[in-house]
Structure 1
Amino acid sequence: MKFFIDTANLNEIREAYDLGVLDGVTTNPSLMAKEGIKGEENVKAHYKAICDIVDNNVSAEVIATDFDTMIKEGEELAKIDEKIVVKIPMIRDGVKAIKYLTAQGIRTNCTLVFSAGQAILAAKAGASYVSPFIGRLDDIAYDGLSLIEQIVQIYDNYGYATEVLAASIRHTMHLVQCAEIGADVATCPLKVITSLLNHPLTDSGLKQFLADHHKVNS
């Protein structure tokens, strides 16, 4: 499974990259605003700064909702760096835009996916990634993990090249369960990834090892 970090914070991205497990970054306008990044040129410069840190896969989101403007924005984002993956919303014009951009050799991430039917459309249009939002589904008492499992099975059935990118991951169990059911990618906050490091038996075991080492070397 690939690990993407869902943030626009450069320090967090560097920390995840330095850990040695980072495969990419996903961002959105809300995350940019959280970092105080305003204005089209500043946003583009920030995307470039992210690309300069990581090896590949930086999802940059279009703002438009009509076909022509999504294409224009998508092509402009793709020019920033070859690592850019253009995020397109799961709407009618979005599906058309994914088809068009894919034909131009521009990778896409179909976002705001909440059903298997939407995921099928994204794959048929040639999306590089499809992003089901499992946490938001959980919020409305729907099993987001079941959706991931369903999409993985459908894609396997027909050999779709689109990768399943589990998004809106809230905690480590989400992450581990996504790995169990075959999601290709998980995107989440840094704290979810670093939480995988923690286990009380690791802490107590290390403490005992160090104590024993001290006894025999003192």
Structure 2
Amino acid sequence: MEFIIDTVDLEEIRDAVDHLPIVGVTSNPSIVKKTSPKDFFGHMREIRKIIGDERSLHIQVIATEAEEIVKEAHKIFEEVDDQVYVKVPTTYEGVKAMKILKAEGKNVTATAVYDLMQAYMALAA
């Protein structure tokens, strides 16, 4: 079993790294909006410093069209690091973007999976 903390609060992450057997950090746009970091990418780089390279960092895209999702993912890799797991909603366009990103050898996390068929599509992508 693996535990991933769902927050972008730096103090919560530091505390979790110190006390819990977490393997990574994940978040979504609504969680990021609550924290409102002034420099989004700088904040994500700070999270990476706290968790180190041995833990995973999952950052969700907000684009909805495959080409824009891929473009946004590339920006995340460029601004944070190339080991980030880009969280992509498991929509029709999202699955297309997942296939493109996986073909590039990038880390992808399927998110917003609401039914079994979406899960199968995400696994296949």
1:44 aligned partner: 41
* Structure 1 position 121 matched with structure 2 position 121: yes
Q: Give the aligned residue type for 1:101.
A: L
| Deviation digits for residues 149-175 of structure 1 (CA, Å, limit 9, x no counterpart) | xxxxxxxxxxxxxxxxxxxxxxxxxxx
CA contact (8 A) 1:51 1:83 kept: no
1:77 — aligned with what? Answer: 76
Provide the rounded CA distance (Å) in 1 between the counterparts of 2:55 and 2:103.
20
SS of the equivalent of 1:47 reads helix
Match of 1:68 in 2: 67
* Cα distance in structure 2, aligned partners of 1:28 and 1:14: 19
Deviation at 1:17, TM superposition (A): 0.4
Aligned counterpart, 1:35: 35
Unpaired segments ≥5 residues, structure 1: 126-218
Give TM-score scaled by structure 1 length.
0.54
Matches within 5 A, 1:1-218: 1-38=1-38, 42-54=39-51, 55-79=54-78, 80-125=80-125
Question: What secondary structure is seen at the aligned counterpart in 2 of 1:63?
Answer: coil
**Deviation digits for residues 74-95 of structure 1 (CA, Å, limit 9, x no counterpart):** 1111221233100101111100
CA distance in 1, matches of 2:36, 2:107: 27
| Equivalent residue number for residue 133 of structure 1 | none
Cα distance in structure 1, aligned partners of 2:81 and 2:2: 20
How big is the shift at 1:36? 2.1
Give, in whole Å, the separation in 2 of the partners of 1:50 and 1:33: 16
Percentage identity across aligned positions?
38
In 2, the alpha carbon distance for the partners of 1:117 and 1:32 equals: 29
Cα pair 1:101 1:108 within 8 Å, conserved:
yes
Bigger RCO of structures 1 and 2 (CA < 8 A, at least 6 apart): 2
Supply the AA of the counterpart residue of 1:48: R
Larger radius of gyration: 1
Gaps (5+ residues) in structure 2? none
Shift of 1:30: 1.2
Instruction: State the SS of the aligned residue for 2:22.
Output: coil
CA distance in 2, matches of 1:27, 1:20: 17
SS at match of 1:14: helix
The C-alpha deviation readout for 1:54-98, integer Å capped at 9, x for no partner, is 132111011110111111001111221233100101111100100
Helix, strand or coil for the counterpart of 2:43?
helix
Detail structure 1 runs of 4+ shifted over 4 Å in the superposition: none
